Structure 1
Amino acid sequence: MNAGTQPDTGRTALVVGGGISGLLAARELAGAGISTTVLEAGDDWGGCVGSHVVAGLILDSGAESFATRSTAVADLAAELGLAGKIVAPHPGGAWVQLPDGPRELPKTGVLGIPANPWDPEVRRSLGFMGSLRASLDKYLPSAVGTTADVTSVSALVRARMGKRVLERLVEPVVGGVHSADPGLLDVDMVAPGLRAGIREHGSLAAAVAAQRRGSTTCTEASTASGQQTKAGSAVAGLEGGMHTLISALVADLRQRGVTLVSGTRADSVARAAGGWNVSAGDRTYDAGLLVVALDGPSAVDLLQDAVPDLAAHRPDRGPDVKLVTLVVDLPELDRRPRGTGILVAPQTAGIQAKALTHATAKWDWLARQAGPGTHVLRLSYGRREGTVPAGGTGGDRGLFDGALRDASALLTVPVTGDDVVDWDVVGWRGALPFAAVGHRQRVAKVRSLCAGTEGLLLVGGWLSGNGLAAVVADTRQQLSTFLQ
């Protein structure tokens, strides 16, 4: 047996889905001495943590950072030899585009919820009366917003801090991160522990402050000089891009002897004596253990014949998202007019993007690679309540034209076709898990059904919650329990 390959314990496992959760599940299985195969329908590994080449630059085509509220991603990166590549964003802060103009986002917030309603940046966004209403939060009983079994982000924020915090801070952030109306999202899924924090600390603002204090693990580089942490900096990235995490993870799996099969879609699943049969094209794979790491609707559709009770818990598909990447030769952007990027309030007229990331302003390593005067802009489109609007019937070219208009408006610097060195459009169909109100209860039922089905485990963002930090931590926890 070659060094690094899986020891032969006689146990076998099949992982369906080659996104980050599937690859990580395979690593945990192989580490337990289980002969593991991963099936991926597409040609690439990593799912939403992908890459593309634009103007000769290898860029992230999906996730480009991870939340630092836990050490889950940083720990994985370290295990894969990437600890020295973890970087904090440039401390320029992020902005929000409101109907009456741009404002800086609060320095310390969660989902746009401020830790201090009287912070100057918060007051500029809310006005005196808005900050006054938000500050009443600390005088409300801790039971307000925390006693119901389920509640939405908007219901919690409106009850404790009022309408202006919801509309001017929370809606833009939630729309940019989750492509959804906060009135539809389960707060316990998208901000786990926040309601418990209210009960512990006495107010929503105090709960937010406590969560932010726990988010400094990977951002110490940006605050070591004594600077106050800016909005958008409770994240970290990897020098070279987040896609390098996938490259390192795939290399690690190959060293461990995991069989990686791409371009192979699982068509059906059947229970068999001692395990599972999975049909994929003209081949059937047999394994004692089955891990399904697909999006929620696809996972339930694949398993509903083998586990019929799952059909009643099929979640809604997440929103479709389009990401337009522009590489521009525009020295006027060297001054970072909107910091690391800007989120767009849904009520803002004339702008169809939900967010713009100024990637070369956010990541110093990328600015060095791009060179002086060259900038990378990422504009995202698509919200839960509507279709991707900017392209109309014009396809990618229509999205490109819309992105030029939106970038010009958001950055206050004209961005024209003549400035563009290269561009690309990447689409993600239903990629963001839609954590609707009550979804936490659905997840509990799904996991209960799986626990009662021998040799079966489901993992992925639709169960863990959105974001790399949630997916990595939850996948490892679930595999640990599964393998006991």
Structure 2
Amino acid sequence: MRGGHATPSSDPKATVSGPAAVVVGGGISGLIAARELAQGGLTVTVLEASNAWGGCVGSHTVAGLRLDSGAESFATRSTAVPDLARELGLGDRIVAPHPGGAWVQLPDGPQELPKTGVLGIPANPWDPEVRRSLGLAGAIRASLDRWLPASVGTSSDVTSVSSLVRTRMGKRVLERLVSPVVGGVHSADPALLDVDMVAPGLRRGIRAHGSLAAAVGAQRRAAAGSSVGGPSGPAKAGSAVAGLKGGMNTLVDALVADLRQRGVALLNGQHADEVVKTQEGWRVTAAKTTYDAGRLVVALDGPGAVGLLEKSLPELSGLRPAAGPLVSLVTMVVDLPQLDGRPRGTGILVAPQTPGIKAKALTHATAKWDWLADEAGPGTHVLRLSYGRREDAGGGADLVLDDESLLAAALEDASALLTVPVSRTDMVDWDVVRWAGALPFAAVGHKQRVEQVRQVCAAVDGLTVVGGWLAGNGLAAVVADTRAQLAAG
């Protein structure tokens, strides 16, 4: 077959020529890359190994409700996601969460999560909510950050979230505020994570503003200025995000529809087995079909991208990142009017040292999103509990529980965290979704690895590599970085 778009062939020698660009990976970064290429006038084919589009921006149906099975919000620190949503005709669907705020479960009991700006780090250690969480001694220690030289925590080439916070604000801020947030968002111990990857610009902000608290405050003000509805003063913790009415999965639906309208070939069940650099460009082999293209975009997770490219680019072999942790999400739809009062706001994060709780976070989705509460109806609630936390830099073996064991843990944890008994008799429906490696593991030194990967790839004509493992965790980072990389390529 020559010209147009390819269709899989059972002939192992079949070669399909014609597409000017091939995108390997149909997650959110791959779909965005395909759109950028198509807008540039190229003929594009997207190869996706699974039968679903959007990667970790997925959906599932539980009790007749279409719910997000992965990402359910985006950070408002930039306009990247709102801009894309508006381009796709979803501007009127952008919504802010209910202003109830989030909580944190500490070893000595629950507390409202203070109005913090970045990774749970307080912009003001003497804010009443912060002081309540830290205690007097903890607030005094945290306030010493103001008097430390700006070079403390910023002079080394790399540093972990834990090291930066402990050095500037002390152990209590780390354990009671930062660890729960980092565990909930990144599924990892803050001692393992590169602060420059998970909080870009924070160390630079310390040098510019003189302290960690001031840097956090500056980032929070910038986020408030670009958030849904614009600046509105200090927001409740957990509200520096926004979502889409109908769920973030509607962004994937809109992207897929947009790509089909542009004539992009979207091919499911096409696992890319080999990539070879040719004189004319690139040759990709998938499902016994080959695709020749002048432009190649690899939009896979880190280990997958390196594994696919290292034959053509041996320099990448030593830059393979660790796989992300296995994260299991238990979604329960319950008939429980006692939850109408939102006993823990929009949800609760769990400090790692909290005894008796296996979950790292609980999202009370119907308390967080008014549109979902309207769809579910009075007395019906959607709870989502997250399990899995990377505690060692080597990756280790992820602890895997079967679905029934996870459900039992979720019922027990939800009852303890929400202070309302949640039992099987209250259950309307439930589901378990597992994401293996969906969250990039930004270990200390990862930023330098990313720079090396990009240097290697930039030296090769027609190649762009995108995805969360390079951009950083979260939709805002992935959307902005993917578009920037395609514009530069």
TM-score normalised by length of structure 2: 0.94
CA contact (8 A) 2:103 2:112 kept: yes
For residue 120 of structure 1, report the CA deviation from its aligned partner. Answer: 1.2
- 2:488 aligned partner: 481
The alignment status of 1:314 with 2:320, answered yes or no, reads: yes
Give the Cα–Cα distance (whole angstroms) in 2 for the partners of residues 315 and 72 of structure 1: 26
The alignment status of 1:401 with 2:377, answered yes or no, reads: no
CA contact (8 A) 2:224 2:230 kept: no
Give the Cα–Cα distance (whole angstroms) in 2 for the partners of residues 214 and 91 of structure 1: 19
SS in 1 for 2:223: coil
Give the Cα–Cα distance (whole angstroms) in 2 for the partners of residues 454 and 277 of structure 1: 13
For residue 21 of structure 1, report the CA deviation from its aligned partner. Answer: 0.4
Superposed counterparts of 1:68-467, under 5 Å: 68-217=76-225, 219-221=227-229, 228-385=234-391, 392=401, 395-467=402-474
Cα 1:220–1:110, aligned 2, differ >3 Å: closer, same or farther?
same
CA contact (8 A) 1:65 1:237 kept: yes
For residue 216 of structure 1, report the CA deviation from its aligned partner. Answer: 1.9
CA contact (8 A) 1:88 1:222 kept: no
For residue 387 of structure 1, report the CA deviation from its aligned partner. Answer: 6.0
Q: How many residues align?
A: 469
Give the Cα–Cα distance (whole angstroms) in 1 for the partners of residues 339 and 100 of structure 2: 13
Give the Cα–Cα distance (whole angstroms) in 2 for the partners of residues 248 and 220 of structure 1: 20
CA contact (8 A) 1:40 1:264 kept: yes
CA contact (8 A) 1:63 1:242 kept: yes
Give the Cα–Cα distance (whole angstroms) in 2 for the partners of residues 315 and 442 of structure 1: 8
AA of the residue aligned to 2:23: V
For residue 108 of structure 1, report the CA deviation from its aligned partner. Answer: 2.8
Note the aligned Cα RMSD (angstroms): 1.4
Deviation sequence 1:102-140 (CA, Å, 0-9, x none): 011111321000001011111111100000000111111
Cα 1:119–1:166, aligned 2, differ >3 Å: closer, same or farther?
same
Name structure 1 gaps, 5 residues minimum.
Answer: none
SS in 2 for 1:325: strand
Give the Cα–Cα distance (whole angstroms) in 1 for the partners of residues 433 and 480 of structure 2: 27
AA of the residue aligned to 2:476: A
Give the Cα–Cα distance (whole angstroms) in 2 for the partners of residues 218 and 138 of structure 1: 27
CA contact (8 A) 1:293 1:459 kept: yes
TM-score normalised by length of structure 1: 0.95
Give the Cα–Cα distance (whole angstroms) in 2 for the partners of residues 245 and 239 of structure 1: 10
AA of the residue aligned to 1:356: L
CA contact (8 A) 1:381 1:388 kept: no
Deviation sequence 1:75-114 (CA, Å, 0-9, x none): 0000000011000000000011000000111113210000
Q: Which residue of 26, 46, 61 maps to 1:53? A: 61
Name structure 2 gaps, 5 residues minimum.
Answer: 6-17
Cα 1:163–1:37, aligned 2, differ >3 Å: closer, same or farther?
same
CA contact (8 A) 2:94 2:228 kept: no
Deviation sequence 1:161-185 (CA, Å, 0-9, x none): 0000001110010000000010110
Give the Cα–Cα distance (whole angstroms) in 2 for the partners of residues 336 and 206 of structure 1: 32
- 2:39 aligned partner: 31
For residue 36 of structure 1, report the CA deviation from its aligned partner. Answer: 0.5
SS in 1 for 2:238: coil
